[in-house]
Amino acid sequence: MNHDDLKNWSKRAADWTHDYHSTLRDRPVRAQTKPGEIAAKLPAAPPETAEPMEEIFADFERIVPDGMTHWQHPRFFAYFPANASPASMLAEQLANSIASNCMIWQASPAATEIEQVTTDWLRQALGLPDSFTGTIHDSATVATLSAVITMRDRASGWRSVDEGLTGQRLRIYASAQTHSSVDKAVRLAGIGQRNLVKIDTDADYRMDPDKLDAAIRDDIFNDRTPAGVVLCTGGTSIGAFDPIAECIEVARAHRLYTHVDAAWAGSAMICPEFRTLWQGAEGADSIVFNPHKWLGAQFDCSVQFLADPAPQIRSLGLRPDYLQTLGEEEIVNFNEWTVPLGRRFRALKLWFVLRAYGLDNLRTRIRNHVAWIEELTEAFRATPGFEITTEPRLALFSFRYAPDGGDADALTERLLEKVNADGRIYLTQTRHQGKFVIRVTAGSFDCTRDDVMAVHAVVTELAATL
């Protein structure tokens, strides 16, 4: 295949993409396959000679679409969304065509400077002070790992950068509602799972600042070294929000580095009325949110804001001779802000999305999703046999099927299996206060009120068959 072939096949792929998105509503949301079925359709050995693109594309059409869970389906209400607006898809095609490794400024001046500008646009959109500087990671997991590594090195007086961890028992504090990426970060940073202290939450599932303070003081008394606090803004399980301002006040009193995980809910902060949910975030050292979850930027695209990038660069930055830009000492090289050296041109899709839709359009989508989830919650609340287990937090709530005399956990699990096998909608589960519950979150870029309300219609129809 050469570039002339690519020109023709790119047009074919564009037509396929249009047809795919036009027919998404007709497809089951979740892949209706069993483990191993897809692999069984592929040859066991690699091809020795080139195969015609016609055959390759035909196999793609035959095997891949029906073997995928359709994340862009307007009735995808599982996990959190991973949006891909048309403008973002176009930008990704162009970025793939240029195929740059944007590791340093010299290797990709436009990529670096568009990243600087677009992350600042987002900072303004979220209402954060101009003291924050942004960078783009692949995922919130890497942003959180970067923050935790910075906490580790800062707490060691930066000795760990050269010597590794040498006898200090460092402690990281997080809400019991924080994402498992925090657990992964403390493991990868060499701090250890046992040194991640999960602070109890209050009746609204928020970190208790007094208990945070008590845990820090207890560690100091027992010759352990507090290193940092990770706070939750819109937890994955039920959408919990820590009291950011109060917890940061405690952390500051103990001179601890703070990181706010707003991977999902951060996008909603482009709407001023939702900013009370993370009041005090401007006092954090680090904040992460994922435009790929709720702003229409194609996965992967996670933005970290730093009040001062210098500590993170001190932990992660390396500039060997072969990565120097000669004659430019103060140039920004974003690889020094994160774990990988190689970087994709992720800023291009942010540039396209923000310009193609504008903040007004994006705000309207988020406000609609929040309003429709509130309406859906009330529909379930009014339906006998259903119990709302957590109230809506932005566009997320949870429920279970608990008819009189039934085993609610078993019935809810069976109901979820039926829903996802049915294919009209896709939902996922969590455990909350020991109960098996179904969580619903709206956020697909093209979903409508009718799509959201279809959750109630499908779920109640299938519950009646249990």
321-360 residue pLDDT tens: 666 664 556 788 888 889 988 899 899 999 999 999 999 9
Residues 418, 423, 426: CA angle, nearest 5 degrees: 80
In angstroms, the Cα distances linking 45 to 35, 39, 42, 129, 227 are 20, 12, 9, 56, 50
**What residues have CB less than 8 Å from 322, skipping those under 6 apart?**
none
Task: Give the whole-number percent of the chain exceeding pLDDT 70.
Answer: 98
The one-character DSSP state at 298 is: P
Residue 208 within a domain: yes
Residue 308 within a domain: yes
Count of structural domains, the chain = 1
Token couple for 466: 């249990």
Q: Would you say residue 251 has pLDDT above 90?
A: yes
Q: What is the CATH number of the domain that holds 290?
A: 3.40.640.10
Residue 398 within a domain: no
- Smallest Cα–Cα separation from 392: which of 413, 409, 372, 408? 372
* 372-405: pLDDT as tens digits: 999 999 999 999 999 999 999 999 999 999 998 8
The one-character DSSP state at 257 is: E
Taking residues 111-137, report their average pLDDT: 95
What's the pLDDT at 324?
A: 66
What's the pLDDT at 326?
A: 46
Residue 443 within a domain: no
Task: Give the whole-number percent of the chain exceeding pLDDT 90.
Answer: 80
- Bond preceding residue 300 cis, omega within 30 of 0: yes
- The CA distance from 186 to 188, in Å, is 6
Residues 389, 395, 396: CA angle, nearest 5 degrees: 30
**Average confidence score pLDDT of the chain:** 92
Residue 399 within a domain: no
Taking residues 232-237, report their average pLDDT: 90
Evaluate whether 287 touches 128 at the Cβ level (below 8 Å). Answer: yes
Residue 415 within a domain: no
CB under 8 A, 24+ apart: contacts of 320-328: 323/103, 323/104, 325/104, 325/105, 325/106, 328/105, 328/106
Distance of CA 344 to the CA centre of its chain: 17
Residue 218 within a domain: yes
- The CA distance from 307 to 141, in Å, is 19
Burial class, 367, CB count within 10 angstroms (exposed 0-12 / middle 13-18 / buried 19+): middle
* 157-201: pLDDT as tens digits: 988 988 888 778 999 999 888 878 899 999 998 999 999 999 999
Please say whether the dihedral angle defined by the alpha carbons of residues 421, 426, 427 and 428, taken in this order, is positive or negative.
positive
What's the pLDDT at 176?
A: 84
In angstroms, the Cα distances linking 423 to 19, 294, 454 are 20, 23, 12
Residue-number span of the structural domain to which 289 is assigned: 101-344
Q: Would you say residue 142 has pLDDT above 60?
A: yes
- Interhelix angle 53-63/3-22, rounded to 10 degrees, is 20
The one-character DSSP state at 233 is: B
DSSP 424-455: SSB-EEEEETTEEEEEEE---TT--HHHHHHH
pTM: 0.92
- The phi, psi pair for 426, rounded to 5°, reads -135, 125
- Interhelix angle 347-381/86-98, rounded to 10 degrees, is 150
Residue 434 within a domain: no
* 58-85: pLDDT as tens digits: 999 999 999 999 999 999 999 999 989 9
